[in-house]
């Protein structure tokens, strides 16, 4: 077998299949950006933001809705093999949708507080876990730069250990289970190529200027309650 075995999670499809059986899966739609596409310049260009949001994210939404429709049909026909065959398409497109939805909220123009981590619970937890914000960023960027191919770098809250962790995922695999995503940084080439070309580390260095720490802090408070 040449292709990497899908490490996708059948439970994701099982969840959707259960919802499909009761007619409970609604159509997904593209969320609006909460700032103008050019508002993250010079760190992320307007062109990148426009294509990333209106084209890439929209395509995940469209293909997710198509996959869910096929799933509903398969569930209706009680065709288990067809349900299972949709697993990778649902994982990829559902992941693409939720990951980008988090990502847009994780970003903010500097005029709206982007890049500014205020003193508080998250700042204290980051310092405790990683020594300082700078060493957290260095550690995060090292791991995100090393993601082979397409994927994401994450700050997650581990509900089991009750601590912050840096994680990476491949392709559009979502963060699931006992880990709650707080901050996701997209390291697919489409996230930076038009501006940074092959130099992913420069993109990673700059993006911290527009991280919406207020949103990350709210996710941390909600997860650690």
Partner 1 sequence: MLSKSAQAVKNAAHENSSKMTYTLEALPYAQDALAPHISAETLDFHYGKHHAGYVTRLNSLIASSDLKSLSIEEITAKGPTNVPAGIYNSAAQTYNHTFYWKSLAPAATRQAAPSQKLNDLIVKSFGSFDAFKTKFSDVAAGHFGSGWAWLVQDKSSGLLKIVDTHDAVSVVHDTTVKPILVCDVWEHAYYIDYRNLRPKYIESWWSLVNWQFAESNLI
Binding track, positions 92-121, relative to partner 1; x by CB under 8 A? x-----------------------------
Nearer to partner 1, 11 or 190 (CB): 190
* Long-range Cβ contacts of 190-195 (<8 Å, 24+ apart): 190/51, 190/52, 190/56, 191/48, 191/52, 192/44, 192/48, 194/45, 194/47, 194/48, 194/51, 195/44, 195/45, 195/47, 195/48
At residue 119, the 3 state secondary structure works out as coil
Nearest approach, Cβ of residue 88 and partner 1 (Å): 7
* Residue 57 assigned as binding residue: no
Does 151 bind partner 1 (CB under 8 A)? Our answer is: yes
For partner 1, what does the binding mask look like between residues 74 and 93, x meaning CB under 8 A? --------------x---x-
Tell me the CA distances in angstroms from 60 to 29, 52, 131, 140, 221, one per residue in order.
10, 11, 37, 26, 29
Nearer to partner 1, 172 or 212 (CB): 172
Contact with partner 1 (CB under 8 A): which of 18, 23, 24, 55? 55
Among 19, 34, 56, 214, binds partner 1 (CB under 8 A): 56
Q: In the complex, what is the shortest distance from the CB of residue 194 to partner 1, in angstroms, rounded to a whole number?
A: 7
Annotated binding site for Mn(2+): 52, 100, 186, 190
């Amino acid at each position: 077998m040449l292709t990497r075995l899908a490490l996708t999670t059948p439970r994701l499809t099982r969840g959707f299949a259960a919802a499909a059986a009761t007619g409970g899966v609604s159509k997904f739609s593209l969320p609006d950006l909460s700032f103008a596409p050019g508002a993250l310049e010079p760190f992320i260009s307007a062109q990148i933001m426009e294509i990333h949001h209106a084209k890439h994210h929209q395509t995940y939404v469209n293909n997710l809705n198509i996959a869910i429709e096929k799933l509903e049909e398969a569930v209706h026909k009680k065709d288990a093999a067809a349900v299972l065959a949709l697993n990778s398409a649902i994982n990829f497109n559902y992941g693409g949708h939720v990951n980008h939805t988090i990502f847009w909220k994780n970003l903010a123009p500097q005029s709206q507080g982007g890049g500014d981590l205020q003193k508080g619970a998250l700042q204290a937890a980051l310092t405790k876990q990683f020594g300082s914000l700078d060493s957290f960023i260095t550690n995060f960027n090292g791991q995100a730069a090393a993601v082979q191919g397409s994927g994401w770098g994450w700050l997650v809250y581990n509900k089991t250990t009750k601590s912050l962790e840096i994680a990476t995922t491949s392709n559009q695999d979502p963060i699931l289970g006992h880990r709650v995503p707080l901050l996701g940084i997209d390291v697919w080439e489409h996230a930076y190529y038009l501006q940074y070309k092959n130099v992913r580390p420069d993109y990673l260095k700059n993006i911290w200027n527009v991280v919406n720490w207020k949103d990350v802090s709210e996710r941390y408070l909600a997860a650690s309650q």
